[in-house]
């Protein structure tokens, strides 16, 4: 199970990095969305991967029997999902607003903060 998920995580990362290298901001956003999922899967794979053995302590036992699922990565992923979802929402709104105000989604043309023809500092009085 782990090797399969590891390959999937690798594919997700590759797709995310490919998309983030684009110069169009909407593709970068898609890349970030995939990146968030890649990391969540990575966290998930980092814990134990088991099928259909929920982490419930059976009656009469004191601790989890061996081979049960690890609940902690799921708690971590839950946190990470909430965070990456909220950030993606913010970034999508920001991208849309940037598209409206700057009139482009091409990051090479987004030069409002750093104009191309910035003056050099004066070399004398």
Partner 1 sequence: MAAPTSTVDLSAALITVPVPIGHWLAILPVAHCITLGAVLLMLRGYPRLQAWLAIPGLAALALIDAALLAKVAADGPLTMVMGRWLPPFGIAFTVDLFGALMAFTAALAALAGGIYALADIGESGRRYGFFPLLMLLMAGVTGAFLTGDIFNLYVWFEVLLISSFGLIILGSEREQIDGALKYAVLNLIATTLFLVGVGILYAAFGTLNMADIAAKAGDLRGTAPLMTLASLFLLAFGMKAAAFPVNFWLPAAYHTPRIVVSALFAGLLTKVGIYALIRVMVMLLPVERQELSPVIALAAAATIVVGALGALAENDIRRLFGYVVISGIGNMLAGVALGGLGGISGAVFYALHSMVLMTALYLAAGEIARRGGGFSLSALGGLYRQSGGFTALSLVLFLAACGLPPFSGFWPKVILVKASLDLGAWWLAASILVGGFLTTIAFGRLFLLAYWRPAAIALTPSGPRWRTGLPLAALTALVIGFGILPEQLLALSQSAAAGLADPQAYLHSVFPEGRAP
Residues near partner 1 (CB under 8 A) are: 20, 25, 28, 32, 35-36, 39, 42-43, 45-47, 59-60, 62-63, 72-73, 76, 79-80, 83-84, 86-87, 90-91, 94-95, 97-98, 101-102, 110-114, 118-122, 125
Residues in a beta bridge with 109: none
CB of 52 to partner 1, least distance (A): 22
- In contact, 37 and 15? CB cutoff 8 Å: no
CB of 69 to partner 1, least distance (A): 14
Q: Considering beta carbons, is residue 46 or 55 the nearer one to partner 1? A: 46
97 alpha-carbon distance from chain centroid: 21
Place of tokens 């990391």: 39
CB of 51 to partner 1, least distance (A): 19
Token pair of 39 as six digits: 């990391």
- In contact, 46 and 39? CB cutoff 8 Å: no
């Amino acid at each position: 199970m782990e090797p399969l998920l590891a390959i999937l995580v690798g594919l997700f990362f590759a797709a995310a990095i490919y998309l983030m290298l684009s110069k169009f901001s909407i593709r970068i956003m898609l890349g970030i969305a995939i990146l968030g999922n890649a990391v969540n899967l990575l966290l998930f794979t980092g814990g134990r991967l088991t099928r259909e053995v929920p982490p419930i302590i059976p009656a009469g036992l004191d601790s989890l029997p061996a081979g049960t699922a690890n609940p902690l990565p799921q708690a971590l992923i839950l946190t990470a999902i909430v965070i990456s979802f909220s950030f993606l929402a913010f970034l999508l709104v920001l991208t849309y607003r940037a598209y409206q105000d700057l009139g482009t989604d091409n990051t090479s043309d987004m030069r409002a903060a750093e104009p191309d023809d910035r003056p050099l500092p004066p070399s004398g009085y």
